[in-house]
């Protein structure tokens, strides 16, 4: 199999690393083709992931002509111009290939129209930055794909973390939570660490405590299957220290601010359509 990546930025590069790692576990034979507007970025990535999988830099038209899965990692506002460069190449292909789009706000139908291949198999994904640590949350939906093509995609993405299928009309809402969420979580970690520093902790210790606390709490939530409110109650002893902190968060509108952040991100996604 050949996996092509057009765009090797933060997300495209992270996914290419995941695919290379999974391909390496399969014992070799797969190939990754990379293309980026800044060629040096693709060249550096190719050198990095070649330990796991054969990786080469190539021009965009060769990538479009030969890849079995073509990951479209360019920003939504540049997608149409990029697809115009390879529209004729895609139209001339006779063997099946799968487009994989990670562009926020662009539906599968819109991508296929831009690409000039309305019946082409396509998988729309919305990964988050944690795929670079193998703990990502990737939402996906598909159109025109066979079961085998979808299964092969899920297999090669295994090293990225968890994947969840959603109806396409819910992808944007899901992305406002899992796609934008890491930025909100990083802000919370930083704020927790700042609080620890204010109480006398060294910065590095405070940051470690905050980050591991979120990591462990999230793992406990997923593995226990319990409601987060129940787990919160388990930590809050009567008249104890934790409930005082919870009250401070509530007084500051913590919950409503978190909800507003998700809704604002979702509304912005709708504006990009």
Domains of the chain: 2-166 (3.40.50.720), 181-271 (1.10.3730.10)
Q: What global pTM score does this model have?
A: 0.91
Q: Note the pLDDT tens digit of each residue in 213-257.
A: 999 999 999 999 999 999 999 999 999 999 999 999 999 999 999
Of 48, 53, 61, the residue nearest 29 (C-alpha): 53
Task: Supply the mean pLDDT for the chain.
Answer: 95
Report the alpha-carbon distance of residue 125 to residue 127 in Å, rounded: 6
- For 128-180, what is each residue's pLDDT tens digit? 999 999 999 999 999 999 999 999 999 999 999 999 999 999 999 999 999 99
pLDDT > 70 fraction of the chain, expressed in percent and rounded: 100
Q: Are 141 and 124 in contact (CB under 8 A)?
A: yes
147-156 and 10-25 helices cross at what angle (nearest 10)? 100
pLDDT score at 70: 98
* Cα–Cα distance, 73 to 252 (Å, whole number): 38
Residue 169 pLDDT = 95
- Residue 128's closest CA among 185, 188, 166? 185
Confidence (pLDDT) at 13: 95
The span from the CA of 137 to the CA of 156, in Å, is: 15
- Say if residue 260's pLDDT is above 90: yes
């Amino acid at each position: 199999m050949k996996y092509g990546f057009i765009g090797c930025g933060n997300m495209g590069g992270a996914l290419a690393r995941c695919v290379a790692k999974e391909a390496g576990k399969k014992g070799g034979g797969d190939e990754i083709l990379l293309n980026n507007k800044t060629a040096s970025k693709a060249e550096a990535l190719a050198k990095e992931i070649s330990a796991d999988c054969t990786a080469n830099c190539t021009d965009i038209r060769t990538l479009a002509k030969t890849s079995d899965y073509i990951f479209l990692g360019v920003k939504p506002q540049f997608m149409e111009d990029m697809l115009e460069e390879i529209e004729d190449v895609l139209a001339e292909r006779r063997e099946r290939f799968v487009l994989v789009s990670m562009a926020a706000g662009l539906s599968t139908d819109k991508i296929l129209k831009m690409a000039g291949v309305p019946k082409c198999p396509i998988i729309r994904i919305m990964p988050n930055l944690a795929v670079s640590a193998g703990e990502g949350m990737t939402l996906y939906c598909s159109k025109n794909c066979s079961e085998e093509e979808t299964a092969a995609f899920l297999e090669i993405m295994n090293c990225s973390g968890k994947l969840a299928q959603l109806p396409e009309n819910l992808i944007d809402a899901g992305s406002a939570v899992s796609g934008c969420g890491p930025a909100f979580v990083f802000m919370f970690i930083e704020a927790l660490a700042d609080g620890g520093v204010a109480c006398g902790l060294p910065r590095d210790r405070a940051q470690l405590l905050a980050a591991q606390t979120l990591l462990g709490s999230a793992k406990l939530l997923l593995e226990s299957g319990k409601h987060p409110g129940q787990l919160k109650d388990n930590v809050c002893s009567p008249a104890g220290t934790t409930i005082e902190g919870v009250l401070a968060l509530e007084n500051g509108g913590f919950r409503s601010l978190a909800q507003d952040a998700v809704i604002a991100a979702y509304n912005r996604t709708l504006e990009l359509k």
